[in-house]
Amino acid sequence: MNSLIVVAHPEPKSFNAALALVAQQCLQSQGHQVRVSDLYARAFAPDEHPRHYARRRNQARFDALAEQRFNAERDALPQDVAREIDDLLWAELLVLQFPLWWFGMPAILKGWMDRVFVYGKLYSGNRRFHSGVCRGKRAMLSVTAGSSTEACSYDGQEGDTRLLLWPINYSLHYLGFTALEPHILTGVRSALGGEDPIAHEQRLHEQLRRHAARFVALDAIPAIPFNRAEEWGEGRKLKAGAPVHSPFIRHHADWRLE
């Protein structure tokens, strides 16, 4: 299996870097090929911008989607983007490793998605969701949170972290990926809240061990369910009776899940 690990953390000695290394070593020990894209180490520019395009479809007005497609069709995408796309198309498993910052992913990773998920190359109007370019590939988020498991739960003060990650997983689903249930590692900064430093270090080591075990048992990780093509009706609205998998897509305006 070919695996791509995309790391979005500015510190090479961070816990996120350690998690990425453990995943890489575990996959390689099973005979898999692994590539690592460390976005900070590569100084990846996260802002989609006219300066990235030597060739332009329209010099008078910058339309990101139009320029992406124009350059994709001419094999003229920016070099940094082309390299990331090559890795994505090569990979059968994509792992996004990042810390939760302000209830979302770091800006460099969001920018990576903005620039690398190229219109006309990785998706189009008739190549998305279950017919997407990346169908048959799997993707998994590995996310660290500073707060406790309790605080990051559905009734915790930080909000339901799994739910916060839904838009990212939906973006992966949009490209055709099978999105696996995310691995959320909590309490990464609990030592700042008074936890004994030795106990904190031991707990992080245990999380690294569990992280490795997850990559040994990848096939046992359930996929996140999304509505299928036949469950959408006129105006791309959810058909009556179709299942509801998330409060982001539901039958009624009321916020509660059915």
Is the CB of residue 118 less than 8 Å from the CB of residue 65?
Answer: no
Tell which residue, 102, 191, 198, 190, has the closest CA to residue 148.
Answer: 190
pLDDT of residue 192: 53
Mean pLDDT of 30-38: 96
| Domain extent listing, the chain | 2-226, 231-258
Q: Can you tell me which residue has the tokens 């990979």?
A: 91
Is the CB of residue 108 less than 8 Å from the CB of residue 102?
Answer: no
What are the angstrom distances between the C-alpha of 133 and each of 40, 66, 258? 27, 19, 32
Q: 6: which DSSP letter? A: E
pLDDT of residue 169: 97
Token pair in block for residue 62: 């910058």
Model pTM? Answer: 0.90
pLDDT in tens, 82-95: 999 999 999 999 99
**Which CATH fold topology does 2-226 show?**
Rossmann fold (3.40.50)
**Is residue 125's pLDDT more than 60?**
yes
pLDDT in tens, 195-231: 667 777 787 888 888 888 889 899 999 999 999 999 9
Mean pLDDT of 51-75: 94
Percent of the chain with pLDDT over 70: 95
Mean pLDDT of 4-27: 95
Q: 129: which DSSP letter? A: G
Mean pLDDT of 52-63: 93
Helix ranges (DSSP H) in the chain: 15-29, 64-73, 79-90, 107-116, 161-164, 166-175, 197-216
pLDDT of residue 89: 97
User: Measured between alpha carbons, how far is 143 from 151 in angstroms, rounded to an integer?
Assistant: 15
Neighbour tally for 37: CB within 10 Å: 22
Report how far Cα 55 is from the mean position of its chain's Cα atoms.
29
User: What rounded mean pLDDT belongs to the chain?
Assistant: 90
pLDDT of residue 211: 82
Q: 237: which DSSP letter? A: P
176 Rama sector, left if φ>0, alpha if ψ -120 to 50, beta otherwise: left
Is the CB of residue 181 less than 8 Å from the CB of residue 221?
Answer: yes
